Protein backbone atom coordinates (compact mmCIF):
# COMPACT_ATOMS: atom_id res chain seq x y z
CA UNK A 1 0.00 0.00 0.00
CA UNK A 2 1.39 3.40 -0.97
CA UNK A 3 1.96 6.22 1.49
CA UNK A 4 -0.98 8.63 1.91
CA UNK A 5 0.17 11.99 0.55
CA UNK A 6 -0.78 15.22 2.31
CA UNK A 7 -2.58 16.58 -0.72
CA UNK A 8 -4.47 19.89 -0.90
CA UNK A 9 -7.69 17.87 -0.96
CA UNK A 10 -6.78 15.94 2.20
CA UNK A 11 -5.61 19.07 4.01
CA UNK A 12 -8.87 20.83 3.15
CA UNK A 13 -10.94 17.89 4.47
CA UNK A 14 -8.97 17.83 7.72
CA UNK A 15 -9.48 21.58 8.20
CA UNK A 16 -13.21 21.18 7.62
CA UNK A 17 -13.34 18.35 10.14
CA UNK A 18 -11.47 20.51 12.65
CA UNK A 19 -13.95 23.34 12.07
CA UNK A 20 -16.88 21.01 12.83
CA UNK A 21 -15.08 19.71 15.91
CA UNK A 22 -14.55 23.28 17.09
CA UNK A 23 -18.26 24.05 16.63
CA UNK A 24 -19.19 21.08 18.81
CA UNK A 25 -16.68 21.85 21.55
CA UNK A 26 -17.31 25.62 21.54
CA UNK A 27 -20.90 26.13 20.37
CA UNK A 28 -22.29 29.55 19.61
CA UNK A 29 -24.99 31.02 21.85
CA UNK A 30 -28.54 30.96 20.53
CA UNK A 31 -30.66 34.10 20.68
CA UNK A 32 -33.50 33.48 23.11
CA UNK A 33 -36.87 34.31 21.51
CA UNK A 34 -38.28 35.01 24.98
CA UNK A 35 -35.93 38.01 25.18
CA UNK A 36 -37.21 39.23 21.83
CA UNK A 37 -40.81 38.85 23.00
CA UNK A 38 -40.02 40.87 26.12
CA UNK A 39 -38.55 43.68 24.00
CA UNK A 40 -41.59 43.71 21.72
CA UNK A 41 -44.02 43.69 24.65
CA UNK A 42 -42.22 46.58 26.35
CA UNK A 43 -41.54 48.92 23.46
CA UNK A 44 -43.77 48.05 20.52
CA UNK A 45 -46.84 45.96 21.31
CA UNK A 46 -48.74 48.48 23.48
CA UNK A 47 -47.99 51.34 21.05
CA UNK A 48 -49.17 49.30 18.06
CA UNK A 49 -52.55 48.89 19.73
CA UNK A 50 -52.72 52.62 20.45
CA UNK A 51 -51.79 53.55 16.88
CA UNK A 52 -54.21 51.03 15.41
CA UNK A 53 -57.06 52.54 17.40
CA UNK A 54 -56.08 56.12 16.54
CA UNK A 55 -55.74 55.37 12.82
CA UNK A 56 -59.05 53.53 12.70
CA UNK A 57 -60.80 56.43 14.42
CA UNK A 58 -59.20 59.01 12.11
CA UNK A 59 -59.02 57.29 8.72
CA UNK A 60 -61.13 54.19 9.18
CA UNK A 61 -63.87 55.41 6.86
CA UNK A 62 -61.37 56.25 4.09
CA UNK A 63 -59.23 53.08 3.81
CA UNK A 64 -58.36 49.89 5.59
CA UNK A 65 -55.86 51.10 8.19
CA UNK A 66 -54.70 47.51 8.80
CA UNK A 67 -52.71 47.91 5.58
CA UNK A 68 -50.29 50.09 7.53
CA UNK A 69 -49.16 47.10 9.58
CA UNK A 70 -47.49 43.81 8.80
CA UNK A 71 -46.49 40.70 10.72
CA UNK A 72 -42.84 39.97 11.47
CA UNK A 73 -41.05 37.22 13.37
CA UNK A 74 -37.93 39.36 13.87
CA UNK A 75 -37.15 42.94 14.87
CA UNK A 76 -34.25 44.75 13.23
CA UNK A 77 -32.72 46.72 16.09
CA UNK A 78 -29.95 49.24 15.50
CA UNK A 79 -27.45 48.94 18.35
CA UNK A 80 -23.75 49.59 19.08
CA UNK A 81 -21.96 46.25 18.86
CA UNK A 82 -18.36 45.08 19.25
CA UNK A 83 -17.66 42.96 16.17
CA UNK A 84 -14.62 40.64 16.25
CA UNK A 85 -13.21 39.24 13.01
CA UNK A 86 -10.15 37.25 11.98
CA UNK A 87 -8.05 38.81 9.23
CA UNK A 88 -4.42 38.74 8.18
CA UNK A 89 -3.46 36.12 10.74
CA UNK A 90 -4.87 37.93 13.77
CA UNK A 91 -8.20 38.98 15.28
CA UNK A 92 -9.53 42.52 15.51
CA UNK A 93 -12.50 43.96 17.40
CA UNK A 94 -14.22 47.09 16.09
CA UNK A 95 -17.22 48.98 17.39
CA UNK A 96 -20.10 49.15 14.91
CA UNK A 97 -22.25 52.04 16.11
CA UNK A 98 -25.22 51.07 13.93
CA UNK A 99 -25.19 47.30 13.85
CA UNK A 100 -28.43 45.80 12.51
CA UNK A 101 -29.28 43.13 15.07
CA UNK A 102 -32.00 40.69 14.05
CA UNK A 103 -33.93 40.01 17.25
CA UNK A 104 -35.98 36.79 16.96
CA UNK A 105 -39.58 36.54 18.17
CA UNK A 106 -41.38 33.36 19.19
CA UNK A 107 -44.14 34.05 16.67
CA UNK A 108 -45.16 36.68 14.14
CA UNK A 109 -46.06 40.00 15.74
CA UNK A 110 -47.78 43.06 14.34
CA UNK A 111 -45.49 46.01 13.53
CA UNK A 112 -45.88 49.24 11.50
CA UNK A 113 -44.83 49.07 7.87
CA UNK A 114 -41.93 51.19 6.66
CA UNK A 115 -42.11 53.07 3.35
CA UNK A 116 -39.07 53.77 1.18
CA UNK A 117 -39.58 56.96 -0.81
CA UNK A 118 -36.33 56.61 -2.77
CA UNK A 119 -37.70 54.18 -5.32
CA UNK A 120 -39.63 54.87 -8.51
CA UNK A 121 -42.54 53.14 -6.87
CA UNK A 122 -43.07 52.98 -3.12
CA UNK A 123 -42.48 49.62 -1.50
CA UNK A 124 -42.47 48.40 2.05
CA UNK A 125 -39.26 47.79 3.93
CA UNK A 126 -38.41 46.58 7.40
CA UNK A 127 -38.40 49.22 10.10
CA UNK A 128 -35.09 49.70 11.90
CA UNK A 129 -35.82 50.09 15.61
CA UNK A 130 -33.47 52.17 17.76
CA UNK A 131 -33.28 51.19 21.42
CA UNK A 132 -30.64 51.83 24.07
CA UNK A 133 -29.10 48.39 24.62
CA UNK A 134 -27.71 49.35 28.03
CA UNK A 135 -31.10 50.42 29.38
CA UNK A 136 -32.75 47.10 28.59
CA UNK A 137 -31.28 43.93 30.08
CA UNK A 138 -32.91 41.67 27.47
CA UNK A 139 -31.56 43.63 24.51
CA UNK A 140 -28.14 43.94 26.12
CA UNK A 141 -28.05 40.18 26.74
CA UNK A 142 -28.84 39.48 23.08
CA UNK A 143 -26.09 41.90 22.05
CA UNK A 144 -23.61 40.13 24.32
CA UNK A 145 -24.61 36.79 22.75
CA UNK A 146 -23.89 38.11 19.26
CA UNK A 147 -20.58 39.63 20.41
CA UNK A 148 -19.60 36.29 21.94
CA UNK A 149 -20.51 34.47 18.71
CA UNK A 150 -18.32 36.82 16.67
CA UNK A 151 -15.40 36.08 19.00
CA UNK A 152 -15.96 32.32 18.75
CA UNK A 153 -16.09 32.47 14.93
CA UNK A 154 -12.90 34.53 14.84
CA UNK A 155 -11.15 32.07 17.17
CA UNK A 156 -12.38 29.15 15.05
CA UNK A 157 -11.03 30.73 11.88
CA UNK A 158 -7.71 31.51 13.54
CA UNK A 159 -7.35 27.97 14.89
CA UNK A 160 -8.31 26.43 11.54
CA UNK A 161 -5.61 28.48 9.84
CA UNK A 162 -3.08 27.21 12.40
CA UNK A 163 -4.07 23.64 11.60
CA UNK A 164 -3.66 24.31 7.89
CA UNK A 165 -0.23 25.87 8.46
CA UNK A 166 0.85 22.86 10.51
CA UNK A 167 -0.32 20.37 7.89
CA UNK A 168 1.76 22.17 5.27
CA UNK A 169 4.87 21.03 7.16
CA UNK A 170 4.21 17.38 6.31
CA UNK A 171 4.38 15.68 2.94
CA UNK A 172 2.47 12.59 4.07
CA UNK A 173 -0.40 11.82 6.40
CA UNK A 174 1.81 9.22 8.08
CA UNK A 175 4.28 11.91 9.15
CA UNK A 176 1.50 14.17 10.45
CA UNK A 177 -0.08 11.39 12.52
CA UNK A 178 3.24 10.54 14.15
CA UNK A 179 3.81 14.19 15.07
CA UNK A 180 0.20 14.83 16.11
CA UNK A 181 -1.62 11.58 17.08
CA UNK A 182 -4.92 13.36 17.90
CA UNK A 183 -5.12 14.25 14.20
CA UNK A 184 -6.56 10.76 13.65
CA UNK A 185 -9.90 12.08 14.95
CA UNK A 186 -10.10 14.42 11.95
CA UNK A 187 -9.16 11.93 9.21
CA UNK A 188 -11.57 9.80 7.20
CA UNK A 189 -11.53 6.09 8.21
CA UNK A 190 -10.41 4.86 4.77
CA UNK A 191 -7.36 7.14 4.88
CA UNK A 192 -6.47 5.85 8.34
CA UNK A 193 -6.94 2.28 7.15
CA UNK A 194 -4.29 2.84 4.46
CA UNK A 195 -1.87 4.24 7.02
CA UNK A 196 -2.51 1.40 9.48
CA UNK A 197 -2.12 -1.22 6.77
CA UNK A 198 1.29 0.21 5.88
CA UNK A 199 2.27 0.33 9.55
CA UNK A 200 1.14 -3.28 10.06
CA UNK A 201 3.16 -4.38 7.03
CA UNK A 202 6.22 -2.58 8.38
CA UNK A 203 5.79 -4.23 11.79
CA UNK A 204 5.48 -7.63 10.09
CA UNK A 205 8.68 -6.95 8.11
CA UNK A 206 10.47 -5.98 11.34
CA UNK A 207 9.24 -9.15 13.05
CA UNK A 208 10.37 -11.25 10.10
CA UNK A 209 13.81 -9.64 10.23
CA UNK A 210 14.07 -10.33 13.97
CA UNK A 211 13.26 -14.01 13.32
CA UNK A 212 15.76 -14.21 10.48
CA UNK A 213 18.46 -12.48 12.52
CA UNK A 214 17.98 -14.91 15.36
CA UNK A 215 18.16 -17.96 13.06
CA UNK A 216 21.27 -16.59 11.34
CA UNK A 217 22.94 -15.83 14.68
CA UNK A 218 22.10 -19.19 16.27
CA UNK A 219 23.41 -21.19 13.31
CA UNK A 220 26.40 -19.04 12.33
CA UNK A 221 24.89 -18.77 8.85
CA UNK A 222 26.67 -15.53 8.03
CA UNK A 223 30.02 -17.12 9.01
CA UNK A 224 29.33 -20.07 6.74
CA UNK A 225 28.45 -17.84 3.79
CA UNK A 226 31.46 -15.62 4.37
CA UNK A 227 33.83 -18.59 4.63
CA UNK A 228 32.45 -20.10 1.44
CA UNK A 229 32.84 -16.81 -0.32
CA UNK A 230 36.49 -16.49 0.73
CA UNK A 231 37.27 -20.05 -0.45
CA UNK A 232 35.64 -19.29 -3.76
CA UNK A 233 37.78 -16.18 -4.19
CA UNK A 234 40.94 -18.30 -3.80
Q: What pLDDT tens digit does each residue of the chain (234 aa) get? A: 457 899 999 999 999 999 999 999 999 999 999 999 999 999 999 998 888 888 888 887 888 878 888 899 999 999 999 999 998 878 999 999 999 999 999 999 999 887 655 555 455 577 899 999 999 999 999 999 999 999 999 999 999 999 999 999 999 998 999 899 999 999 999 888 887 765 555 665 555 456 545 644 555 645 544 555 555 555
Task: Write out the residue range of the structural domain in which residue 98 sits.
Answer: 26-167
What is the pLDDT, as a whole number, of residue 216? 44
Give 38-42 contacts, CB < 8 A, sequence gap 24+: 38/138, 39/75, 39/77, 39/103, 39/131, 39/136, 39/138, 39/139, 40/75, 40/105, 40/109, 42/136
In a domain, 151, yes or no: yes
In a domain, 223, yes or no: no
In a domain, 107, yes or no: yes
In a domain, 204, yes or no: no
In a domain, 10, yes or no: no
Within 8 A by CB and 6+ apart from 68, the residues are 55, 112, 113
DSSP single-letter state for residue 102: E
Amino acid sequence: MSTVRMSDYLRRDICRAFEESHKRSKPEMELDVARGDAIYNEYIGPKVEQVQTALADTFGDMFDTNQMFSKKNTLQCIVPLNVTRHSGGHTETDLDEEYALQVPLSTERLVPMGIDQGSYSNYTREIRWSFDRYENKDLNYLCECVEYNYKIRALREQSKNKVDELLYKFTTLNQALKAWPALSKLVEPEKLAKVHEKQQRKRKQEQQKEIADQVVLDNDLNKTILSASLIGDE
